[in-house]
A and B are shown apart, each in its own frame.
Chain A
């Protein structure tokens, strides 16, 4: 059977952050990221304050630092790009440890690094405290186009089914002595991918049939009405509001 009963990003818990309705958390994270991105890059202390804010949230959510840091690794490809910037950017240059670096590039790298890390950290926190299904309910509640939400929810439901089908096809190939070695075998793999696509497509048709048999008429019925109280909204929005204060100070100080 498929791996992992819950998604790896999610960390089960009963903290106040876990308990917040998903759409308030989504709104909070989105607003927080917008505020962080619009902060001037020279206000270094502001970014330290943002990090402290996220640290507070992580503490309230009982997400350990090691968990958070490990998941931050996803950022590395982007960081690699940031590290290049001081070397390739034009303009005024300074000497650091015997290397000539561009001042503009250094600021640019800092900008990408700081804002990127804060954005990823906020998203990791959101994912760690909100189940995928809840996230979808939240997106639905925030009036994202229903078609997108439905596609995402079918991806969750059928991801394992399709992976399993793929695994069975691989076993069938290997049982008949096939081993993918080099370019010559890509044709076989491509045909398998095509077959998998057609199988998934046909499954889609059967699922659709099952759906209309149970009264589906183009929109998903609302089963769980997610609602948030004023207190829950203010809890969630405390994060972006505090960040906004920091951001404004950054602009005017």
Chain B
């Protein structure tokens, strides 16, 4: 696990994907050579139309799908059979439907699931759960069953379940879907306050612009563009070519982002 630290001149990227290609068993090829890397602490949006292969790519990041060709490295550690447990600890995926993510009878047990699976017990486990829930502002809901929370609260707990594993990189699949504007803003505040690398898969373009200085466009199984979010969204030809549309009346050029 420390093989990466020998390289002290250039810091190891949190995530490094190179030449990644994948075809489903039925022959449908979803990824055709994907290359990108995320530096530690970066917040990056992965944009793309439906069916571009975004979810397929996400499932490669923690080894649920294994690459047909190419490699994925998380903080220098290649994703592969031999250290799957460590990879899954380092890559925290927040799935789109919090009801899929929260499967335990109480919030506390759900947040504890990941660290407990990694062998944490007792007071240390409890402290980890409290810390994760505090970071998403859900500490007082610790003993509630997840299905009695609002959708926005469930999404925040889902983020906490992953933060509890102290991941190297947080991967969010459509984090703003089904959220009302207030929950959306609360989640944005939380994500901004975290000091982990974030890869956010979304077609909510204003949200990407608000949170992520850099964006990748995945289209037809390849990275079609990689650059500053504001510039990509302002490039009308590029946007049209990849079926990305801004909401009515939204002009990325008029938005000033702190990010």
Residues on A facing B (Cβ under 8 Å):
1-2, 5, 132-133, 136, 153-154, 156-158, 160-161, 203, 206-207, 209-217, 221-225
Contact = CB atoms under 8 A, between A and B. Distances in A.
B83 interface: no
Contacts of A160: 147
A1 to B, nearest CB: 6
Lowest 5 CB-CB distances: which A-B pairs, in order?
A221-B116, A215-B117, A214-B114, A206-B100, A221-B117
B147 A161 contact: yes
B51 interface: no
A92 to B, nearest CB: 55
Interface in B91-118: 91-93, 95, 97, 99-101, 103-106, 109, 112-114, 116-118
7 contacts: A157-B105, A203-B100, A209-B100, A212-B64, A214-B113, A215-B118, A222-B116
Interface in B162-180: 162, 165
Given A157-B103, A206-B100, A5 B145 contact: yes
Interface in B24-78: 59, 62, 64
Interface size range on B against A: 35 or more
B116 A223 contact: yes
Contact of B99 (A136, A161, A209, A214): A161
B169 to A, nearest CB: 13
A216 B117 contact: yes
Contact of A217 (B62, B85, B103): B85
A214 B106 contact: no
A2 B148 contact: yes
A133 B146 CA distance: 14
B121 interface: yes
B95 A209 contact: yes
Given A214-B113, A214-B165, A5 B148 contact: yes
Contacts of B125: 223
Given A222-B121, A223-B112, A213 B93 contact: yes
A222 B121 CA distance: 8
B105 A156 contact: yes
A209 B64 contact: yes
B117 A214 contact: yes
Given A221-B113, A221-B116, A211 B103 contact: yes
Contacts of B59: 209
Contacts of A211: 103, 113
Contacts of A158: 103
Nearest to B93: A213
Contacts of B122: 225
A132 B106 CA distance: 12
Given A209-B64, A211-B113, A221-B113, 12 more contacts: A133-B106, A154-B103, A156-B105, A161-B147, A207-B100, A207-B103, A209-B59, A210-B103, A214-B162, A215-B114, A216-B113, A221-B116
